[in-house]
Homo-oligomer: A and B are copies of this chain.
Amino acid sequence: MRHQIMTASKAEPATIRDVARSTNLSVASVSRALNGHSNVRPDTRARVIEAAERLGYVPNAAARSLSLARSHAVGVVLPDLHGEFFSEIVRGMDRVASEKGYQLLLSNMHADATMAAHAMSAMRGRVDGLIVMAPQLSYELLQKTLPASLPVVMINSPQGTGHSNLRIDNAQGARMTVEHLLATGRTAIVHIAGAQDNIDGHERRAGFEAAMATLAPHLPARVIEGDFLEATGTRIVAQLLADGAHFDAIHAANDMMALGALMALRDAGVVVPDDVAVTGFDDIPLARYMALTTVRVDLAGVGARAVSALLQTIEDADARHDSAMIKPELVVRGTTAPVIAPTMR
């Protein structure tokens, strides 16, 4: 039972019945008037709008969702992303979503898969579709976890789940950097790989190997296991130098390891790019400052495209799936261009 004693601040919001009462109309007419149905007399509609405004009436989203079986919200489940990755993707999503009158229900994909499953099922009735980014989840696990009744768009996730899947073209990115290194005369390139249970790490490594095999089958294509962490880049390169290994280019699976590599090189007095060139992947903001040649992906674009694809599936039940590759872009900077690396030192 509701308390009658209430302070102004907690005034219960007006419902459609309040508006109906205040206009001497039925709730049906009010609903029709506010939703722009055609069979409402103009002056009636005006009366309704006036009253709604006066009472500060805002439709209750839960009631609306229940009745329409539509929430006008999409669920977003992302892994533990940092910095620009997260903010740019979400920014792109928010742009499209709010443009189309949808809202974003956000949930981090906690490492724990059961938690993730729980987060997703908690969205039942709350969202009209799901955008899932799960670069480290297995195909089988995903199948089990994803609700069968909702449209889903995946980002950078395992293939074959039967849902739209936007994927960053890691192979092409790796190929572009390899091409660039070869074009600038490098002959001994070392790839520092990312975690291999991560789809990006895996594809970038494979992309590197494929590019080397195609473009320079005669050259060595060394691969060293890494894990995306800066310190690992440093450690691996320091080790290479200590071993007296011969190499004139480091091709890292992401920017952080590339930056780590730069540190190790600098500490050892190796001149970049004269003695050794370095490339990364991702184009994090730091990359620009460190003049790192890298591969850029339009993250906001990915987010925007994911939402567009999802809304299309939602609004047109049998829209074809959009399983596109997102083309990355090569950004050439000082760590490969002998132009002179003006930064750092």
Contacts and interface: CB of A to CB of B under 8 A. Distances in A.
Contact of A126 (B61, B107, B110): B61
A83 interface: yes
A85 to B, nearest CB: 8
Given A9-B148, A9-B162, A98-B119, 10 more contacts: A10-B317, A61-B122, A64-B125, A83-B83, A83-B285, A94-B107, A103-B106, A104-B107, A285-B286, A289-B290
Interface in A280-310: 285-286, 289-290
Interface string A45-77: 000000000001011111111100001010000
Nearest to A85: B87
Contact of A62 (B12, B65, B98): B65
A81 to B, nearest CB: 7
A94 B108 contact: yes
Query: Top 5 A-B pairs ranked by shortest CB distance?
Result: A60-B125, A62-B65, A86-B87, A61-B125, A61-B126
A108 B91 contact: yes
Contact of A106 (B85, B94, B125): B94
A90 interface: yes
A125 to B, nearest CB: 3
Interface in A77-99: 80-87, 90-91, 94, 98
Contacts of A259: 289
B64 A60 contact: no
A110 B95 CA distance: 9
A147 B83 CA distance: 31
A257 to B, nearest CB: 15
A217 interface: no
A4 interface: no
A149 interface: yes
Contact of A84 (B82, B115, B124, B125): B82
**Most interface-central of A12, A105, A147 (chain B CB within 10 A):** A105
Nearest to A10: B149
Nearest to A13: B149
Contact of A104 (B59, B82, B83, B105): B105
